Amino acid sequence: MKQQDTENIKPAIEESWYQVLKDTFDAPYFYKLKLFLLEEKKRYRIYPPGNKIFEAFNLTPFDKVKVVILGQDPYHGHGQAHGLCFSVQEGIKPPPSLVNIFKELSDDLGIPPSDNGNLSSWARQGVLLLNATLTVRAAQAGSHQKKGWEIFTDTVIKTLSKQKEGLIFLLWGNYAQAKSALIDKTHHHILKAPHPSPLSAFNGFFGCKHFSKTNLLLEKQNKKPINWRLENKQSLIE
């Protein structure tokens, strides 16, 4: 593919996001990132599928964002990742961190744990489920870190912080909490807790009550609270 053709490829991202991020899509680093991804796809299986890379943005337009949950990497197992942090596609067994998210949701709001790990219904209500890195090689965690995605997603966080008011950022774990430096704390709310991973969930993620706290903060702003309940699905793929 010629350089000019690569530069002119418009990302398959929802239009309101394209408009606020247009400058970063035109930046040299993003061109290098596109070249990197084109080469990776020739040699490896990449997750999530190409049409799902910007799914978090496509399900949660810029003007609809009310809550931001930050993750790090997409899942790298077959059929799991679909562009939303912590979420897996329907029919896939929820991974351990997501199971712990459901446990805390149950303890916090009395919502029974779901066997459906697809969090798209949260995204459609204004919860931006943003990973810091948006792609990964199959079975190689962290393989697309420091290739440009972090510059892009840091720009997303800074743009949200600058152009919106009263967002609620849920920062779980040290990696996500480091992003608090990008957020104007005088205009937004930040809720911190340990990561929901089995390695750290018992150190304070359980009992953080972030789901009820988020809804209280939304209600104080006269915004509609999030319905965190997910429909259960059958026929899980182990």
Amino acid at 69: I
Classify strands 67-71 and 127-131 as parallel, antiparallel or unpaired.
parallel
Describe the chain by its helix, strand, coil percentages, rounded to 5: 40, 10, 45
The pairing of strands 136-137 and 189-193 is unpaired
5's CB contacts (< 8 A; 6+ apart) are none
- Active-site residue, 63 included: no
The C-alpha atoms of residue 112 and residue 131 are separated, in whole angstroms, by 26
Catalytic residue among 73, 107, 108, 184: 73
Give the C-alpha separation, 117 to 94, whole Å: 5
Q: Helix (H, G, I), strand (E, B), or coil: what is residue 127?
A: strand
8 Å CB contact between 129 and 71: yes
- Give how far Cα 130 sits from Cα of 2, 198, 226, Å: 31, 21, 17
Tokens coding 137: 């090689």
User: With the CA atoms of 136, 145, 159 and 28 taken in that order, what torsion angle do they form, in degrees rounded to the nearest 10?
Assistant: -100
Which residues have a catalytic role annotated? 73
